[in-house]
Amino acid sequence: KAGVTQTPRYLIKTRGQQVTLSCSPISGHRSVSWYQQTPGQGLQFLFEYFSETQRNKGNFPGRFSGRQFSNSRSEMNVSTLELGDSALYLCASSSREGSYEQYFGPGTRLTVT
């Protein structure tokens, strides 16, 4: 079974731009969670989607948003990029809502210049 895939793997954007990251969960998995990983703040939960609905949200500004499609694929969007948004964005999928059996993708490395 294929794992969680994230595209693109690397991205460079300029401050003020917006960016969209994509995550395809493991086949059959309906829950997708997003995490931000930075050297200063570590791993922080962004949000969780299940059945196209946002179920949980971490403590991030409204510039961070996401959505999930009927095929469980998920996208996250960051608008008005700031230098501090430079991070590794990890997506994790699980078979059911709120499950801790999460399988992580390789991440998207976003650099904001």
61: which 2 tokens?
């500004």
Binding residues for other proteins, per CB under 8 A?
A: 4, 33, 35, 42-45, 48, 56, 58, 90, 92, 98-107
**3-state per-residue secondary structure call for 25-91:** CCCCCCEEEEEEEECCCEEEEEEEEECCEEEEECCCCCCEEEEECCCCCEEEEECCCCHHHCEEEEE
**CB nearer other proteins, residue 66 or residue 107:** 107
Q: How far is the CB of 8 from other proteins (least distance, A)?
A: 14
Q: Which is nearer to other proteins, 14 or 100 (CB)?
A: 100
- Distance between CA atoms of residues 66 and 74, nearest Å: 7
Whichever of 42 and 70 has its CB closer to other proteins, that residue is: 42
For other proteins, which is the closer residue by CB, 39 or 70?
39
Q: How far is the CB of 87 from other proteins (least distance, A)?
A: 14
- Judged by phi (left if over 0) then psi (alpha if -120 to 50, else beta), residue 72 lies in left
